[in-house]
Structure 1
Amino acid sequence: MSTIDVDVRNTIHDLLCRFFLAFDEKDWVAMRATLADEVFIDYASSGREQPGAMTGDEFVGRRRGAVDELSKQHSFSNLLLSATDSGVHGRCNYLILRFATASNGAADSYHSCGSYEFVFQPVDASWRISSITQKALRSWGNRDLHGGSRN
């Protein structure tokens, strides 16, 4: 693994900020702009989607369908990046707070924490997310609020 240029590091950090903020603001156009045309996903550790590839549009459609009715706040920390032959690999911790839009108690929330692993690839003159693996540590609250969760 080789070192990563500071400009690339800053660009990828900004890309992740835009990706997570797009969830919170329900800005699906902005989310799509952060993704490669094909994205590998693995949400199996949280009991959700099994590993597989899909288009960036499909990814956005699935996320929108699973969480569009919730108020959310995504946070990430401890971002580590490393250059690989296939692009840039990243790992970060996450905390996701989710609340029912008409919240009236603790049963109207569903939160989770863990880590993500990403692969970023250059596309044209920018970077895009081409792989997302979630490694869930813990979730708590009303799981039924999250449309992407398995019952």
Structure 2
Amino acid sequence: MEALDALDHVAINDVLCRFFLAFDERDWGAMENCLAPEVFIDYSSSGREQPSTMSGTEFVQRRRDAVDTLAKHHSFSNLLLSKDEDGVRGRCNYLILRFDRDFNGEGEDFYHSCGAYEFRFGKVQGGWKIASITQRALRSWGNRQLHGGTRKADG
């Protein structure tokens, strides 16, 4: 395993910050700018989408189509990056807080999740992009029906 250059580490961390912030702000253009043209996605551990490869544009469209109205806050920690012959592998822990826009601090008007993400990053036109996302869900709590992706998976 080859050491990752410090500037590459900072650049990849920046891509992840912009990617997660794009979810929170529903900034679909910014989200697509973080993705490679083709992206492998695996959200199966949370009972959502089965593993598949799709275009970055299709990934963003699926996020848009979830049409939830939740206020969201994505955060990540413990980012570990390692370089290999295919690019860079990454792993981080995540916490996603989701609240119904009318949440008043009581009841079940929230749905939160935590776990880990595994990423692969590659260079596209000189910049780092996300080429693979695998979610390793640890725990979710709250009102599952608030989450658009979960509702679709439940039928």
Q: TM-score range with shorter-chain normalisation? A: over 0.9
Aligned match of 2:115? 114
Alpha-carbon distance in structure 1 between the residues aligned to 2:67 and 2:50: 18
Aligned match of 2:140? 139
Shift of 1:68: 4.3
Sequence identity percentage: 64
Which runs of no fewer than 5 residues in structure 2 stay unpaired?
A: none
SS in structure 1 of the partner of residue 149 of structure 2: coil
Aligned match of 1:57? 57
Alpha-carbon distance in structure 1 between the residues aligned to 2:37 and 2:57: 8
Alpha-carbon distance in structure 1 between the residues aligned to 2:47 and 2:131: 21
Alpha-carbon distance in structure 1 between the residues aligned to 2:112 and 2:8: 31
Alpha-carbon distance in structure 1 between the residues aligned to 2:107 and 2:53: 35
Task: Compute the RMSD of aligned alpha carbons.
Answer: 1.0
Alpha-carbon distance in structure 1 between the residues aligned to 2:100 and 2:57: 25
What is the 5 A alignment of 1:66-85?
66=66, 68-85=68-85
SS in structure 2 of the partner of residue 97 of structure 1: strand
- The C-alpha deviation readout for 1:23-66, integer Å capped at 9, x for no partner, is 11111110000000110000000000000001101101111222
Shift of 1:125: 1.4
Alpha-carbon distance in structure 2 between the residues aligned to 1:68 and 1:58: 18
Alpha-carbon distance in structure 2 between the residues aligned to 1:78 and 1:106: 31
Normalising by structure 1, we get a TM-score of: 0.96
Contact conserved, 2:39 with 2:53, CA < 8 A, in 1? yes
Find out whether 1:41 has 2:38 as its counterpart.
no
Contact conserved, 2:68 with 2:147, CA < 8 A, in 1? no
Shift of 1:103: 2.0
Q: How many residues align?
A: 151
Which runs of no fewer than 5 residues in structure 1 stay unpaired?
A: none
